[in-house]
């Protein structure tokens, strides 16, 4: 099974406690699917065969500290931010990462807001969200092949056919897919979509089975972009508004929630806020 290297940034302060570091490292190494763990520059480098979201939960629970995935893969990596906001009425959100290895591609992700059960996952030809998920073009298919499953040879599948992911009763799908057809350099600028139904992998009786696995329309999608590998991203704090990297994933990209502390500070300056909120530094968390 292919391994992935993760850089997990942990909020341990400037002088991490040695006992806590040892406890976290030893606990992680004892878990099935964890191959190697080391601590460097405030982050854990973890080599694993597990989905990154599972590893991130392990680090958070073991260390008791805030943790965030800072880098994925040695060098050639990509990421897609999946959302239903551009196309559909649901609230599907997720992150899917790709890593190139000499032995194949790793597709690693978690997506929330799905109905329970199986959903198709496909790389599409175009990275065009001008009409939401309806302008992505067909599945990425450089070999002009019929639709198939991820275990089929290139002549019997689209390169973008990644099969199915499975959402649990809470609507979350956590997955790690290995693929021997897709290449990381083929993905950048294309798009990834999750569909409303199960993909029959080209083996069904429906007229659309050999086109899209009768998996229905996309319900969430995102453009695939280049991303940082381990120890390639030194970011710890957003210079524009002071939001630290551990909290950034819980803030909107822009708007009131993003600059909450600044707004409270400004209200006090204008005589409309209360003293308790005004005591907080502007743009700090």
Do 95 and 107 form a contact (C-beta atoms < 8 A)?
A: no
| Together in a domain, 26 and 94 | no
Do 201 and 158 form a contact (C-beta atoms < 8 A)?
A: no
Whether 238 is covered by a domain: the verdict is no
| Together in a domain, 150 and 47 | no
pLDDT at residue 87 in the model: 65
| Together in a domain, 91 and 190 | yes
| Together in a domain, 68 and 144 | no
| Together in a domain, 155 and 41 | no
| Together in a domain, 223 and 263 | no
| Together in a domain, 95 and 15 | no
Question: Quick one: which of 153, 150, 162, 148 has its CA closest to 190?
Answer: 162
Whether 235 is covered by a domain: the verdict is no
pLDDT band at 26 (very low <50, low <70, confident <90, very high): very high
Q: What is the pTM of this model?
A: 0.80
Whether 268 is covered by a domain: the verdict is yes
DSSP assignment, residue 252? -
- Is the pLDDT assigned to residue 84 strictly greater than 50? yes
pLDDT at residue 249 in the model: 52
- 146 vs 266, higher pLDDT: 146
Q: What is the largest CA-CA distance in the chain?
A: 70
What is the extent of the structural domain holding 15? 4-72
What CATH number is attached to the domain comprising 53? 3.30.70.100
| Together in a domain, 217 and 165 | yes
What's the Cα-to-Cα distance from 264 to each of 182, 239, 253, 279, rounded to whole Å? 49, 19, 18, 9
Estimate to the nearest angstrom the gap between the alpha carbon of 89 and the chain centroid.
21
- Helix, strand, coil proportions of the chain in percent (round to 5)? 20, 35, 50
Whether 232 is covered by a domain: the verdict is no
| Together in a domain, 255 and 215 | no
pLDDT at residue 229 in the model: 80
pLDDT at residue 13 in the model: 83
| Together in a domain, 127 and 176 | yes
**Hey, which bits of the chain come out as E strands?**
4-10, 34-40, 43-48, 67-72, 77-83, 93-101, 104-112, 117-124, 130-133, 161-167, 173-179, 191-195, 218-227
Do 113 and 91 form a contact (C-beta atoms < 8 A)?
A: yes
Question: Quick one: which of 165, 164, 141, 163 has its CA closest to 154?
Answer: 141
pLDDT in tens, 160-216: 999 999 999 999 999 999 999 999 999 999 999 999 999 999 999 999 999 999 999
pLDDT at residue 88 in the model: 66
What CATH number is attached to the domain comprising 103? 2.60.40.200
pLDDT in tens, 39-77: 988 899 999 999 999 999 999 999 999 888 888 987 789
Rounded CA gap, 127 and 89, in Å?
21
Question: How many domains in the chain?
Answer: 3
pLDDT in tens, 226-284: 988 877 766 654 444 444 444 545 544 444 454 444 444 444 444 544 444 444 444 43
| Together in a domain, 132 and 269 | no
């Amino acid at each position: 099974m292919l391994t992935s290297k993760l850089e997990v940034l942990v909020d341990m302060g400037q002088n991490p406690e040695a006992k806590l570091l040892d406890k976290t490292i030893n606990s992680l190494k004892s878990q099935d699917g964890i191959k190697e763990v080391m601590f460097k520059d405030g982050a854990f480098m973890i080599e694993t065969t597990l989905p990154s979201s599972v590893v991130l939960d392990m680090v958070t629970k073991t260390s008791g500290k805030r943790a965030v995935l800072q880098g994925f893969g040695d060098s050639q990596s990509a990421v897609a931010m999946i959302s239903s906001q551009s196309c559909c009425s649901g609230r599907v959100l997720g992150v899917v990462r790709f890593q190139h290895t000499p032995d194949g591609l790793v597709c690693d992700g978690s997506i929330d807001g799905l109905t329970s059960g199986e959903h198709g996952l496909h790389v599409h030809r175009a990275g065009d969200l001008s009409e939401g998920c309806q302008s992505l073009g067909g599945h990425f298919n450089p070999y002009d092949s019929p639709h198939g499953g991820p275990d089929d040879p290139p002549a019997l599948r689209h390169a973008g056919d990644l099969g199915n992911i499975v959402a649990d009763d809470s609507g979350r799908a956590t997955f790690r897919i290995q693929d021997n057809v897709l290449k990381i350099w083929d993905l950048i600028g294309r798009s990834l979509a999750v569909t409303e139904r199960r993909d029959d992998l080209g083996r069904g009786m429906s007229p659309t089975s050999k086109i899209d696995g009768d998996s229905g329309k996309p319900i969430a999608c995102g453009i695939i972009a280049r991303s940082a590998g381990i120890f390639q991203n030194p970011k710890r704090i957003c210079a524009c508004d002071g939001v630290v990297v551990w909290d950034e994933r819980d803030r909107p990209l822009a708007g009131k929630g993003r600059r909450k502390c600044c707004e409270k500070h400004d209200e006090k300056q204008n005589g409309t806020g209360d003293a308790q909120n005004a005591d907080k530094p502007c743009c700090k968390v």
